[in-house]
A and B are shown apart, each in its own frame.
Chain A
Amino acid sequence: MDLAYTAKQQAFREEIRQWLAAHVPAQPLQSFDTAEGFAQHRQWEAVLNEGRWGMVTWPEEFGGRGCDLIDWLIFEEEYYRARAPLRVNQNGIFLLGPTLMEYGTDEQKARILPKMACGEEVWAQGWSEPNAGSDMAAIRARADLKGDRYIINGQKIWSTRAVWADWLFGMFRTDPESSRHHGLTFILVPLSTPGITVRPIPQLDGRPGFAEVFFDDVEVAVENRLGDEGAGWQVAMATAGFERGLMLRSPARFQETARRLVELYRANRTAADGDPGVKDAVMRAWLDAESYCLATYQTACRLGKGGKIGAESSTNKIFWSELDQTMHATAMNILGARAELLPHAPDAAGVGGWLDGWLFSQSGPIYAGTNEIQRNIIAERMLGMPR
């Protein structure tokens, strides 16, 4: 065990820091859940990609740097320290990207990954259906193979980024006789295909961060199938593993929230200490964010030596989502009567992004598999409790 960065890792950090200092937009971009903000974020992805920072863990041939997970964590730390824009293509680069590396054909990788890396093609998810939420194996949307095309009919819902995205990845039932997690196939669908209707769904902040997607005899070429027909569940589980795992929510995000929370507390200390629980909550936030960082480094090092990530990755998703919610709840308590004010309200001084973060934190325990589902997975697969 040696908990010091190598000279190479330190140089890597310095290189990112300098590049970000020179390139991160001085003014924050608008929300990527607006048309204008989406375009701004897509442009930022192109800038990132020009610097070859789009996805540092990818092989060089796809626009990456072939970095290991420690480099990835360093990149994320600098990215969040620099307050660089959120990643509009996170469904693509963090979830589908790694899955493509594992299950994609060479043709698919060459066709899809470079355009994903530069933001030319932004990806949405198409997993949940109105009657297949936590019970994802209840998927009913059909994809019937006719010649060299799948004919897709059905409905997806809660498709994040689908309003302005270019492609959707999802799971469809290709075997009409099948049930549960059998007979499902992972298919990549261009959202511009005739027969697709995208109906935006406003989120808590009023912006259409997700959508319903209706498929009416939508024809998709068979080369857009990822993995074998009928193997969709296995492919999707790989994606879910990455999602809960290291990529989507690296510790840097929560460490920065914890740091801002400490600052908020110190700036409002006299009033905040009127509630004796606040100081403890702020301190716990810092302890937990640091613990998440330490545990992630430990996992990354273990994976780097050939270890595998298993059911314990479900602990990760619970830990960060509940931490995020708790941190923002504490911030709301510190802000007191100002907490409910939108940032542009005339008397909202010092409120900053806390309200936005508070709203978004409500979704953490729900998306990417509810925390109740994660707890079932932990109990059954990690602890071995009876089904």
Chain B
Amino acid sequence: MDFTFTEDQLLFQASTREFLTGEVTPARIRAGWESPDGRDPALWQQLAELGLTGITVAEEFGGLGMNELDFVLLAQECGYVALPEPLVNTALVSVPLLQQLGGELAASWLPRVATGEARVLAGIEQNLLVEDAHVADLLLLQHGDAWYALAPEQVELRRNESVDPSRRLYAVAIKPGAEPVASGQQAAALTLAALDRGALGCAAQALGLAQRMVDMAVSYSSDRQQFGKPIGSFQAVKHLMANVAVRLEYARAPVHRAACSVANAEAVASRAVSHAKLMACEAANLAAKHSIQVHGAMGYTWEVDLHIFMKKAWALANTWGDTAFHKGRIADYIFNDGAELGAGTTFR
């Protein structure tokens, strides 16, 4: 029983954090809102040079060959800066999908994902829309009981604007003539795995987003003076933030456990992911609710950066499985015969 991260994993987290907080500033995110496709090829290339686009790509294809557990702390850092680039979905969803599909598809695309030359993105019907489909050189798409690997010319995209201007969402229609790359049971397994990995990515980012919003509200409340003192010295304000800190503290371990479960393909992985996502997204939503309150009217403005993080948190809570889906998975387990509940069952 060892529930700690290695020194290497923690160092990688620290260096990634340093890079991301330095490069992915709110100003750069806002600049992305004004650009035609909302994405930042220069930043993507920087991420590739750090090995991050290929972090889960096998070493034989030029990647770092790391797993979900190695990546989960980095995904938290992506959340902390509200990284608009699709790094989390690439590392946790697209690359594992390619590796599961294997063969020529994996051999030809994975090396280019690792170098940053190509973007491979994935979508499942449960998500309604596909994030960043417009910049995908290859789209992995679940449709009905089949998966397709599609070039840009094989699809038609229809943009749907999100409350979060960083999120670029597309309805994707497959043009006639495409052949599935997986179907039947294999496709169903791929869909489940993609959903779990996508949800894990949301959960990890939600932890980072929550921490960021707490940090912003603490900082604001330490500076902002009313009644002759910082508003953060008032108990009513303190306790709002303390409540977030409590929920966040108890959301972390479930996310780390889920990452470990997914990495080891444990039987409990799907349940662990749903648990993690519910806890982490709830913490992030609470962070948003209390942080805007602490910011007062300033928090309701476009100008103050808080909404960059709030809107992402709101969106993540209902993507890669909405709360109904994830609560449903938990309820299906605990309210049925055969559930192992109570003390001593957590790590079975």
| Chain A contact residues, CB within 8 Å of chain B | 1-6, 9, 13, 70, 74, 76-78, 80-81, 251-253, 255-256, 258-259, 262, 265-266, 279-280, 282-283, 286-288, 290-295, 297-298, 300-302, 305, 312, 315, 318-319, 372, 374-376, 378-380, 382-387
B124 within 8 Å of A (CB atoms): no
Q: Given contacts A292-B250, A295-B249, A375-B238, are A259 and B335 in contact (CB under 8 A)?
A: no
Residue of A5, A255, A302, A379 touching B239 (CB-CB under 8 A): A379
Beta-carbon contact of B218 and A383 below 8 Å: yes
Beta-carbon contact of A76 and B343 below 8 Å: yes
- The interface centre, meaning the residue of B249, B251, B260 with most chain A CB atoms within 10 A of its CB, is B249
Distance to closest chain A CB from B198 (angstroms): 20
Report 14 cross-chain contacts, Cβ distance below 8 Å, ordered by A residue.
A2-B1, A77-B343, A78-B343, A279-B331, A283-B327, A286-B334, A291-B251, A294-B3, A297-B3, A298-B4, A376-B242, A378-B241, A385-B222, A386-B232
Beta-carbon contact of B343 and A302 below 8 Å: no
B226 within 8 Å of A (CB atoms): no
Q: Given contacts A298-B3, A298-B252, are A372 and B239 in contact (CB under 8 A)?
A: yes
Q: List the 4 closest pairs (A to B, CB-CB), nearest first.
A: A259-B342, A379-B238, A252-B343, A294-B253
Count contacts on B: residues with CB < 8 A to the other chain: 50
Q: Given contacts A279-B331, A291-B254, are A5 and B1 in contact (CB under 8 A)?
A: yes
Chain A: which residue is nearest B345 at the CB level?
A255
Beta-carbon contact of A70 and B254 below 8 Å: no
Complex Cα gap A8–B239 (Å): 43
Beta-carbon contact of A3 and B242 below 8 Å: no
Determine chain A's interface SS by DSSP, over half rule: helix
Beta-carbon contact of B254 and A290 below 8 Å: yes
Chain A: which residue is nearest B346 at the CB level?
A293
Distance to closest chain A CB from B154 (angstroms): 41
List, in ascending order, chain B residues with CB within 8 A of A385's CB.
218, 221-222, 232-233, 237-238, 241
Distance to closest chain B CB from A253 (angstroms): 8
Determine chain B's interface SS by DSSP, over half rule: helix
Other 20 A-B pairs with CB < 8 A, given A283-B327, A378-B241: A5-B1, A255-B342, A255-B344, A279-B335, A280-B327, A290-B254, A294-B253, A295-B250, A298-B256, A302-B4, A315-B246, A315-B249, A319-B246, A375-B235, A376-B242, A383-B218, A383-B242, A385-B218, A385-B237, A386-B230
Beta-carbon contact of B253 and A295 below 8 Å: yes
List, in ascending order, chain A residues with CB within 8 A of B129's CB.
none
Beta-carbon contact of B250 and A315 below 8 Å: yes
Distance to closest chain A CB from B247 (angstroms): 8
Beta-carbon contact of A262 and B1 below 8 Å: no
Distance to closest chain A CB from B263 (angstroms): 9
Distance to closest chain A CB from B210 (angstroms): 13
List, in ascending order, chain B residues with CB within 8 A of A78's CB.
343-344
How many CB-defined contacts (below 8 Å) exist between A and B? 170
Chain B: which residue is nearest A257 at the CB level?
B342
Distance to closest chain B CB from A305 (angstroms): 6
List, in ascending order, chain B residues with CB within 8 A of A1's CB.
2-6, 69, 256, 260
- The interface centre, meaning the residue of B254, B335, B346 with most chain A CB atoms within 10 A of its CB, is B346
Beta-carbon contact of B3 and A372 below 8 Å: no
Chain A: which residue is nearest B347 at the CB level?
A3
B289-334 contacts to A, CB under 8 A, are 327, 330-331, 334
Complex Cα gap A166–B33 (Å): 70
B100 within 8 Å of A (CB atoms): no
List, in ascending order, chain A residues with CB within 8 A of B64's CB.
none
Q: Given contacts A287-B275, A291-B251, A298-B252, are A5 and B347 in contact (CB under 8 A)?
A: yes
Beta-carbon contact of B233 and A387 below 8 Å: yes
List, in ascending order, chain B residues with CB within 8 A of A2's CB.
1-2
Beta-carbon contact of A379 and B335 below 8 Å: no
List, in ascending order, chain A residues with CB within 8 A of B346's CB.
255, 290, 293-294, 297
Complex Cα gap A288–B253 (Å): 11
Q: Given contacts A286-B330, A372-B235, are A251 and B343 in contact (CB under 8 A)?
A: yes
Complex Cα gap A376–B4 (Å): 28
- The interface centre, meaning the residue of A4, A70, A291 with most chain B CB atoms within 10 A of its CB, is A291
Beta-carbon contact of A3 and B341 below 8 Å: no
Beta-carbon contact of A70 and B1 below 8 Å: yes
Complex Cα gap A387–B233 (Å): 5
Residue of B1, B214, B221, B342 touching A3 (CB-CB under 8 A): B1
List, in ascending order, chain B residues with CB within 8 A of A319's CB.
246, 249-250
Beta-carbon contact of B335 and A290 below 8 Å: no
Complex Cα gap A252–B235 (Å): 33
Beta-carbon contact of B253 and A386 below 8 Å: no
Beta-carbon contact of B242 and A375 below 8 Å: yes
List, in ascending order, chain A residues with CB within 8 A of B335's CB.
262, 265-266, 279
B243 within 8 Å of A (CB atoms): yes
